[in-house]
Structure 1
Amino acid sequence: MSISVEKMIDRKEIMTGRVLHVTVDTVRINDSDITSTREAVWHHGASAILPLTDDGRIILVRQYRYAASQPMLEVPAGKIEMDGENPDICASRELEEEAGVTCDELISLGFVYTSPGFCDEKIYLYLARQLKQSKQHLDEDEFVNLERYTPKEMEQLILDGGIIDAKTIACFAKARPYLRGV
């Protein structure tokens, strides 16, 4: 059977929140009489940044993730504030907010979908170089610890399960051509 094309013919709004929007859609498959139901989460997207210091270390943040019920080691990242915000602007903002640095060079590494089976969230990936010390601007309810690792140490953390965050693993994989020592 060939790949199907699905067209939404009905939508039920379930929830609209600050971060996401949830619907239950009825879709028609391949312009046929076959219909199906799709639950979907709609998200404005996010930017994730791998900050590389001049001495070749990577700045990561460790923060508690409620949905996963545990602290996680991640690249700095954050949601695009409004539909249509430029992901580059989001990346620069989140780099300073979370890691307390700015950069002179922000390299786009493309993007990934987080869970395309039910969610349209797209995370734009970046490498930040030529960092300059600034100041963190954390939200009132945001608590993060900054940690620095060599690319080899980060690679080992990924292999050993010390880093289990998908956007961080994807960002590291896409940044590998720019990293020394891996």
Structure 2
Amino acid sequence: MSRPMTETSITASELRDEPFEPEVVSSDVVYKGWVWDVRSDHVAYGDGEIIREYVDHTGAVAVLALDDDGRVLLIQQYRHPIRHRDWELPAGLLDVEGEDPLAAAQRELAEEADLTARDWQLLVSTWTTPGGNSELIRIYLATGIEEASSAYAREDEEADIRVEWIPLSDAVDAVLEGRLHNGILSLGVLAAERRLRD
């Protein structure tokens, strides 16, 4: 028998995620990966104990680069788990020890698109799959776009990245019509459209 949902009344300003840290009785790396690990935690929860396995993620950043004509930079690259070349925002892992997330975003824009930006601001952040991994990704809005002084040497899936500048409204339409499925891209373009409208 399921428990009834508790109804509460909160104001719009009170609507936020809440930190909650039950005791982790034990935590073990059950798979040591090339990029990230899988961890198994035994957690004291309620009157018992639960076991949760998840990808222990470094975190990541993404860049919504917007040019002076209102176009957003999209990149397309092969993603093996989904067997697709999906459209994305330039993005990457926080895998450099101690690197500031903004510096990482600036690095990724240069590495994946050979671009720099004059102005940067945090657009939005999200946990990508909180039931299965610990990844927090910060999406930055970059404007004042310029060509980088040198091109970056790309390898593997990044070697054949396709780069396109798309009107922001067209990218929003493609998300809402189900033609683009990347969650970070979807959140980024929707947040950017809202930011620019306000």
- Which residue of 1 is the match for residue 161 of structure 2? 144
- Greater Cα shift, 147-156 or 137-146: 137-146
1:26, CA displacement in angstroms?
1.1
Amino acid at match of 1:139: R
Amino acid at match of 2:58: H
* Aligned CA distance change for structure 1 residues 43 and 71 (closer, same or farther; 3 Å): same
* Aligned CA distance change for structure 1 residues 41 and 72 (closer, same or farther; 3 Å): same
1:174, CA displacement in angstroms?
1.9
* Aligned CA distance change for structure 1 residues 74 and 23 (closer, same or farther; 3 Å): same
Contact 1:10-1:27 within 8 A present in 2 as well: yes
Whole-angstrom CA distance in 1 between matches of 2:125 and 2:98:
15
- Which residue of 1 is the match for residue 59 of structure 2? 45
Whole-angstrom CA distance in 1 between matches of 2:135 and 2:151:
26
Q: Does the residue aligned with 2:185 lie in a helix, a strand or coil?
A: helix
- Which residue of 2 is the match for residue 156 of structure 1? 173
Whole-angstrom CA distance in 2 between matches of 1:96 and 1:125:
15
- Which residue of 2 is the match for residue 82 of structure 1? 96
TM-score (norm 1): 0.89
Verify: 1:23 aligned to 2:39, yes or no: yes
- Which residue of 1 is the match for residue 144 of structure 2? 130
Unaligned runs of 5+ in 2: 7-17
Contact 2:172-2:190 within 8 A present in 1 as well: no
1:138, CA displacement in angstroms?
4.5
Amino acid at match of 1:176: E
Cα RMSD over matched residues?
2.2
Q: State the Cα deviation string for residues 118-145 of structure 1 (Å, max 9, x = none).
A: 2110001111100001244253212200
Equivalences for 1:101-140 in 2 at 5 Å?
101-134=115-148, 135-140=150-155
1:100, CA displacement in angstroms?
1.5
Share of identical aligned residues, percent? 31
- Which residue of 1 is the match for residue 10 of structure 2? none
Contact 1:98-1:136 within 8 A present in 2 as well: no
Q: Does the residue aligned with 1:117 lie in a helix, a strand or coil?
A: coil
- Which residue of 1 is the match for residue 190 of structure 2? 173
Q: Does the residue aligned with 2:133 lie in a helix, a strand or coil?
A: coil
